[in-house]
Structure 1
Amino acid sequence: MSLLTAVYCAVLAGLVLVGVPVLYVALGAALVLLVQWVCTEALARRVTRARYVTAEEEPDLHAVLDRLCALADLGKPRLAISPSAAPNAYTVGRSRRSATIIVTEGLRRRLEPDELTAVLAHEIAHIRHKDVAVMTLASSFAIALAAFAKGTGRAVAEAPGMFLEEFPYGLLIGLTVLASGAVAGLTSFVAHLPLRWLSRSRELAADRAAADLLGQPSLLASALLKVHDGAGIPVRDLRRGLPALGLVAGRTSRGSLMATHPSVHVRVARLINKR
C-alpha cells in the first residue's frame, strides 16, 4: 500500500507540476475513486453475466452461506450465479454490507459440495478481511490510468489525420496526447506491480482463513487442484479492469510479478502445512 501510495502521489504531483490546477487534480482524483466505489459491483456482474439468486432459487448455496456467515460472525452477502463455463468464484462490492459473491456454473459442475463450501469460505474470508474495499480503492487509479492510455492510443490510431490538419500545432497536440498516453500506460504498469503483490498476499490470507474457518484445509486444497487441472481455465481473465477477488486467475504467459494469484503449488503447500 505504501508503494501504491507513492506511485499515485507521484502522478498527482506530476499533474500539478505540468500546470493542472490543484482543485482540478483533487476533483479528478475524487471522481475516479467515486466511480470505482459506486460502479465496480454492477460492472463485475455485467462482465460475468451474473444474476442475483434468492434462497428459493438456490436453497443449498444459501444454506452454505448462512452457515459460513454464522461461523465467521459476518452479515450475509448477496449471491449471484454466472453462466460461465469457466470454474471460478468472485467477490465484488464496496464493503462488507454491499459485497456480492459470484459463483460460475462451471465451478458448481466441477466441485463436490464440500469443496464448493471451502471455496465459499475463501470468498467469505475476503469479505471478513475487508479485501473487497481495499482492492477497490487500491486499484482505482491504476485502472483509470490504463483506460486513459488505451483511449489516447486508440484516438491517435483511428484518426491520425485530425492532428495533421493544422500543421504544426495539430501535430504538436497529437504528439502531446500520445506522450500523455505513453506516460499513463507506463505509470499504470508500475502501479500494477505492488497492486498484484497486494492481491497475492490477500489470496494467501483468505486461503488460511478459509482453512481455519472449516478446520479442513484439505477441502480447499482439493478444490484448487481440481480447478487448476488445466481444463476450463480461461485464457482471458474476465476480471481484467475490475477489482474482483476470485478463486483463481485466468491462464497467462506473464511472469509471477504480474500474477494476481500465487501458484497453485504454493497455495496447496501452505494449506497442507498451515503456514
Structure 2
Amino acid sequence: MRHLGLKARMAVVGSVLFAFYAVAAVVAMGAFGFPLWLVALGSLAFVGVQYKIGKWAALRSVGAEEMPEERFADVHRRVERLSDDMDIDKPRLMVARMGVPNAFAVGRKGAGTVVVSEELLRLLDADELEGVLAHELAHIRNRDVVMMVLGQGVASIVAIVAQWAVLLTGDNDLADFFLAMVVGQLTQLLVMVFVFAISRYREYVADRDAADLVGGGEPLASALEKISRGSERAGDSEIDSEVSALCIFGDGTGLARLFASHPPVEKRIERLRS
C-alpha cells in the first residue's frame, strides 16, 4: 500500500478533527438550542462550501491566470508526462506573481490545479522546475490537499462556535467581545496544530515521490536551495497564511516550528540528498 504512514497519519488527524467538530456541535446545541440534525447539516454544509470555495479563494488570492500552452510549452509537456507516470489526470496549470519563487497545488486527482509563480519560472532551470512540478503533482495524487482544506474548514467552525459560546454565556459587553475574539483565535490555532503536523509530514512524502519520479533528489534539493535564497531576498510575499500552507516552501524557527506548515528546508534538502 502506497504511503501507509501518510494514510495512517491522515486517519488520526481526521479523527481528531472529527472530535473537535463533535464537541463544537454539542456546544452549539447547548448554546443555541438547535436540534442535532440541524447542527450536523449546517456544519457539513459549511465544510462543503469551504472546500468548494477554498480552491477558488486560493487562486484568487495570488491573482493566478491560465498558463498559455504556446508560451509555456515545455512546462505543459513535462506536467503531462509526469501526470501519465503518476496515473492522474493532467491538472490545470496557472501562473501568478507571488512576490517570491513558489508553487502550490489545490484540488483532487480528477480536478487538480497547479500554480507556479513567475518568479519561480525565472529562477529555476528545467530539471529543478520538473522536480517542483513532480512535488506538487504528488500532493494531488496523495489527496493530502483535501485534508488541508477540510482541516481549515473545521478549524473555522470550531472557532466560530467558541466565540459565540463566550458571548452567549457572558454579559455581552466589550470585555466579552474581546475575550470571544481571543478564545476563537486560540481555539482555531489549537485545531490547526494538528493540521500543520500532517502538513509537515506530507511535504516529506511529496519530496520522496518527486525524487522517485525525476530519477533522484538532487533537482528538487537544488530547487529548494534556490527558492529559499530567493525568498530571503524577495522581502514581502503576496501569499496569505492559508495559501502559504499549501506552497512548496515555508519555514519556521524555534517555537514557531510547532505551528509551521512545512518542515525545516535544510532537513528536506538533507533527506533528498541522502
Query: 1:251–1:201: structure 2 CA closer, same or farther, 3 Å change rule?
Result: closer
The yes-or-no answer on 1:50 pairing with 2:64 is yes
Structure of higher CA gyration radius: 1
CA deviations on 1:61-88 (whole Å, 9 max, x unpaired) are 1011011111111110000000223100
Which residue is 2:126 aligned to? 113
In the TM superposition, 1:14-53 aligns within 5 A as 14-21=27-34, 22-53=36-67
Which residue is 1:165 aligned to? none
The yes-or-no answer on 1:129 pairing with 2:129 is no
When structure 1 is superposed on structure 2, of 206-215 and 48-57 the one drifting more is: 48-57
When structure 1 is superposed on structure 2, of 33-42 and 136-145 the one drifting more is: 136-145
Unaligned runs of at least 5 residues, structure 2:
1-12
- Asked if 2 retains the 8 angstrom alpha-carbon contact of 1:83 and 1:105, the reply is yes
Residue 132 of structure 1: how far off its partner (Å): 1.8
- Asked if 2 retains the 8 angstrom alpha-carbon contact of 1:138 and 1:195, the reply is yes
Aligned residue for 1:81, secondary structure, equals strand
Aligned residue for 1:18, secondary structure, equals helix
Which residue is 2:9 aligned to? none
Letter in 2 for 1:46: R
Counterparts of 1:27 and 1:180, CA distance in 2: 25
- Asked if 2 retains the 8 angstrom alpha-carbon contact of 1:37 and 1:137, the reply is yes
In the TM superposition, 1:72-83 aligns within 5 A as 72-83=86-97
Counterparts of 1:235 and 1:200, CA distance in 2: 23
Q: Give aligned-pair identity as a percent.
A: 33
TM superposition outliers: structure 1 runs of 4+ over 6 Å: 250-253
Q: TM-score, normalised by structure 2?
A: 0.83
Counterparts of 1:7 and 1:236, CA distance in 2: 32
- Asked if 1 retains the 8 angstrom alpha-carbon contact of 2:251 and 2:265, the reply is no
Residue 31 of structure 1: how far off its partner (Å): 2.6
Counterparts of 2:38 and 2:233, CA distance in 1: 46
Counterparts of 2:176 and 2:33, CA distance in 1: 15
The yes-or-no answer on 1:103 pairing with 2:102 is no
Residue 213 of structure 1: how far off its partner (Å): 1.1
Residue 236 of structure 1: how far off its partner (Å): 5.2
Letter in 1 for 2:232: A
Query: 1:233–1:209: structure 2 CA closer, same or farther, 3 Å change rule?
Result: farther
In the TM superposition, 1:213-252 aligns within 5 A as 213-229=213-229, 231-232=232-233, 235=236, 238-242=239-243, 245-249=246-250
Unaligned runs of at least 5 residues, structure 1:
153-168
Aligned residues: 254
- Asked if 1 retains the 8 angstrom alpha-carbon contact of 2:24 and 2:158, the reply is no
> Alignment RMSD, CA only?
2.7
Which of 81, 84, 90 is the equivalent residue of 2:98? 84
When structure 1 is superposed on structure 2, of 116-125 and 246-255 the one drifting more is: 246-255
